[in-house]
Amino acid sequence: MAQPILVVGSVAFDDLETPFGKAARVLGGSASYFAAAASLYAPIRLVAVVGNDFPMAQYDFLRARGVDLRGLQVADGETFSWGGRYDYDLNRTETLFTNLGVFADFHPSLPEDYTESPFVFCANIHPALQREVIGKVRGRRLTMLDSMNLWINTARKDLVEAIQLVDLVSINEAEVRMFAATSSVVTGAQRILAAGPKGILVKKGEYGAVMFTGDEYFVAPAYPLEEVKDPTGAGDSFAGGFMGFLAQYEGTITPAVLHKAVIHGSAVASFTVEQFGLERLKHLTRADVERRYQEFIRFTHFETEHIE
Ligand code: AMP
């Protein structure tokens, strides 16, 4: 039986612009992408806030996947909204606006059973809020956080304190460089590890992801897609596939298990970017992910015996 994962993060209206199209006020947010991905594997408890302008029916697909929404509060005010633009280099996101709305005054009160959650994912949101939630959960087996350039620039102290509380950090390569003030991702990752976490997952967009743990390094390519429509949410759905796999796994989490989890993350993220917003994730199944996982095994395998 998969163990529950508590996720705290944003639930948002996104305005998205890529060279392949535009979408206005579509459902998004870091917690939405994570929940949509991880709910293919494990029971999800979602902690976030929306305003009274939020159309709850848009979350029916998560409810249908069994996502527990008792931790989603509705407050007086506007739902968080974000505008992002990408050029042909889809690895770079330009933030057009961030409107915190009801997140500005949010202090989550967790339903009693949420306070015992073995897996906790702090999706991208203010690091003080991430810390607040971590502090309320007992019996954590694995805690991971994600962040972004905005918080590195504006809330560094809170972010460092949050990083000290978690087992794993997921972050993209530009943010590693920014956080550690170095051009080397390897050096940057080591500096983040020095703050306390056991591992760091560095996302490299179309080039895949790498995982650094104390003494190990593991590389996962991205799936070779011909067409990427919208990279929004790739990082959160990567985290969802990764953590979902771990929550479903019943044995000890060894390096080999973590490697499989990274490939699941890459496989799920590769679907997310095929369509705008959450569209592809809404219809994704575990069987789709499993097929792609098998392809990853084929294209990453190479013979190591001597070849004449
Ligand atoms: P990703 O593409 O994985 O980095 O995540 C994109 C999602 O993050 C979008 O759906 C946004 O709504 C959300 N997002 C962007 N900026 C922030 C922020 N400052 N705090 C929380 N969520 C954000």
Q: Which atom of ligand 1 is nearest to the CA of 235?
A: 3
pLDDT value for 308:
65
pLDDT band (50, 70, 90) for residue 307 = low
CA of 302 from ligand 1 middle (Å) equals: 37
Q: How far is CA 14 from CA 19, 98, 179, 195, 266, in A?
A: 16, 10, 26, 33, 23
Q: Which long-range contacts (CB under 8 A, 24 or more apart) does 87-92 make?
A: 87/19, 88/19, 90/18, 90/205, 90/206, 90/228, 90/231, 90/273, 91/204, 91/205, 91/206, 91/207, 91/231, 92/174
Mutate to test the pocket of ligand 1, among 124, 172, 279 (most ligand atoms within 8 A of CB): 124
Q: Where are the domains of the chain?
A: 5-300
The lowest-confidence range among 88-92, 162-166, 294-298 is: 88-92
The pTM of the full predicted model, rounded to 2 decimals, is 0.96
CA nearest ligand 1 atom 6, residue: 233
- Per-residue pLDDT reduced to its tens digit, 213-238: 987 899 999 899 988 999 999 999 99
Q: What is the pLDDT of residues 10-29, one digit of tens each?
A: 999 999 999 989 999 999 99
Mean pLDDT along residues 193-217: 92
Around ligand 1, the residues with Cβ closer than 6 Å are 10, 12, 14, 28-30, 82, 98, 124-125, 148, 150, 232-236
pLDDT tens column, 111-136: 999 999 999 999 999 999 999 999 99
Q: Does domain 5-300 have CATH number 3.40.1190.20?
A: yes
Nearest alpha carbon, ligand 1 atom 15: 82
Q: In this structure, which residue's CA is closest to atom 12 in ligand 1?
A: 29
Identify whether the C-beta of residue 277 lies closer than 8 Å to the C-beta of residue 23. yes
